[in-house]
Chains A and B, each alone.
Chain A
Amino acid sequence: MGTPAILLWSVIGMALIFDFVNGFHDAANSIATVVATRVLTPFKAVLWAAFWNFIAFAVLGTEVAKTIAKGVVDPNIISIGVVFAGLVGAIFWNVLTAWLGLPSSSSHALIGGMIGAGIAKAGGHVVVLKGLRKTGTFIVFSPLLGLALGFSVIVLIMWIVHRIKNVDRTNKTFRVLQLFSAAAFSLGHGANDAQKTMGIILALLIGAGKVSEESDVPLWVVLSAHTAIGLGTMFGGWKIVKTMGNKLTRLQPMGGFAAETSAAATLFFTSAKGIPVSTTHTITGAIVGVGSSQRLSAVRWGVARRVLWAWILTIPGAAAVAAFMYWIVSVLS
């Protein structure tokens, strides 16, 4: 018996809502530095970021989507119930951290949710260890890459511009350049994060027998995922903008440019390699790297510590909620 169409479409709709919430939650990452350095007003900044989020589908491939669909839990056990429970776990975690103003990771919430629901359905053996190792190591590697690049780029820039006497002109130049770095980061964000939803929808379609396991991501899935994340970004989460833009460290246009360029380079690399990483982790690492180039006290380590705890708790937290949700779904059905 095939999967009832209404159920399938309802869960696809829910995956797109998750994508919308992801854009809403992560909007801060794309625009925090542009808003903090007053290059753009918050409204113009979200429009700018949403545009580049959407355009990303034409630039980077769909490798991350394939990793999510086939490299987190065994695709043979994925059912509507598993995806539904996984999404509920991830959405619950995202809403909780957005409410608390914590820049946690929507991506790891989604991966945690899928793992929790998968284990609740069929046990620990369904977790794809190779995919988990790839995702797990890059939980740490991606912010470290962002931090090393952020620190190196800002040092390089300072070395280049330190002879220029006209500080106003330098700031003005970097305010303009920051528009491009914000666009690049939004492009990377759209590419990596929208693909996670594409991966979930692809897994659902494979599970329902609508597409074969070897097939590529259908174009309508690609377009709808990018539309959802772009719309979510337009409604962005302002509480997190404040945390990312001002509380971690105070940034000048030069620093904003360095942080976004470094984070964008990390996201381009990981998207091309099909590694699902957290855009939040990456930009946080880059901002801390830029801040620590001045002096360590420029970084507010208390806030950074709170963020770190949110990172550590995300996968187990979302997995626990998803496992509980799957248990409820299986009892009800």
Chain B
Amino acid sequence: MKSWIDRRAVIFYVFAVVSFALTPLAPTEYSYVGWILGIAYVVLGSMSWLDRVAFWRSNPTRRKRG
């Protein structure tokens, strides 16, 4: 089960949370930067996770080794 956890995706999701959390602190004219960054990290995290899942499904030998 542990092999399905993508550490890179987790880090990207943490960065997304940080970006969203900082958005209210930014001056109004720059708050869009926080939103864009947060969304970008959610997308990057999800893509990274999907890539990991696809890799483990297409490489059963690596999967067995864990």
Q: Which A residues are within 8 Å of any B CB, using their own CB?
A: 130, 133-134, 136-138, 140-141, 144-145, 147-148, 151-152, 273, 275, 292, 296
* Contacting pair B41 A148 (CB below 8 A): yes
Question: Taking the complex as formed, is B4 at the interface, i.e. its CB lies under 8 A from any CB of chain A?
Answer: no
Q: How far is the CB of A321 from chain B (nearest CB, A)?
A: 26
**What bracket does the count of chain B residues touching chain A fall in?**
10 to 19
Distance A228 CA – B34 CA, assembled complex (angstroms): 34
- Contacts A147-B15, A296-B8 given; indicate if A275 touches B37 (C-beta within 8 A): no
Q: A144-B19, A148-B44, A275-B30 are in contact. Are A137 and B25 (CB under 8 A)?
A: yes
**The residue from A133, A145, A296 contacting B26, defined by CB atoms under 8 A apart:** A133
29 contacts between A and B (CB under 8 A): A130-B27, A133-B25, A133-B27, A134-B27, A134-B30, A136-B25, A137-B25, A137-B30, A137-B34, A138-B26, A140-B19, A140-B22, A141-B19, A141-B22, A141-B26, A144-B15, A144-B18, A144-B19, A144-B37, A144-B41, A145-B33, A145-B37, A148-B37, A148-B40, A148-B41, A148-B44, A273-B30, A292-B8, A296-B8
Q: Are B26 and A137 in contact (CB under 8 A)?
A: yes
Complex alpha-carbon distance, A273 and B31, angstroms: 13
B contact face: mostly helix, strand, loop, or mixed: helix
| Complex contacts, B37 vs chain A, CB 8 Å | 141, 144-145, 148
Question: Which chain A residue shows the least CB distance to B23?
Answer: A137
Tell me whether B57 is interfacial, beta carbon within 8 Å.
Answer: no
